[in-house]
Amino acid sequence: MADVLLRDETMTGRELASWTLPGLPETITARELLRWRVREEAARYSATLGGLFRGLVRPAAATETAQGFRLPGATRVDWVAQADAACEAFGRNGFIMLTANRQIEDLDESIDLRTDNEVAFIRLIPLVGG
């Protein structure tokens, strides 16, 4: 089993958040890692059912704030729907994934967590008119 350090970063490399996801297989696809990440985000939020959801993608019922996403009332986050949305967002270049030595180009790419045990997620902001 392997642990991976997940980091959310700005386009300039400033870290916004980081946490370790333990107990993963030593080799995993980018899609599997993304789904594990989203499942953990949803579980952390649903355990408290309050405050802001600070996930990679906005839940359907949420409104975006500068610090995260606000869900109405005591709404649980459906991790499967969130994971599907995250995979779609990756395909639309909504964010990129970087390991120590490369950018993940395809969700079916394999990641060896014994050597690439840090993965950065950088949300991309569409240009006006572009």
pLDDT tens for each residue of 6-64: 999 988 889 999 999 999 999 999 999 999 999 999 998 888 877 788 889 988 888 88
pTM over 0.75: yes
CA distance 122 to 129: 21
Work out whether strand 95-99 and strand 110-112 pair parallel, antiparallel, or are unpaired. Answer: unpaired
Alpha-carbon distances of 62 from 1, 10, 79, 88, 117, rounded to whole Å: 35, 22, 14, 18, 31
Domain ranges for the chain, please list them.
2-123
Q: Which CATH class is domain 2-123?
A: alpha beta
Mean pLDDT of 67-85: 88
From first CA to last CA, the distance across the chain in angstroms is: 43
Distance CA 55, CA 45 (A): 9
pLDDT at 129: 54
pLDDT band at 74 (very low <50, low <70, confident <90, very high): confident
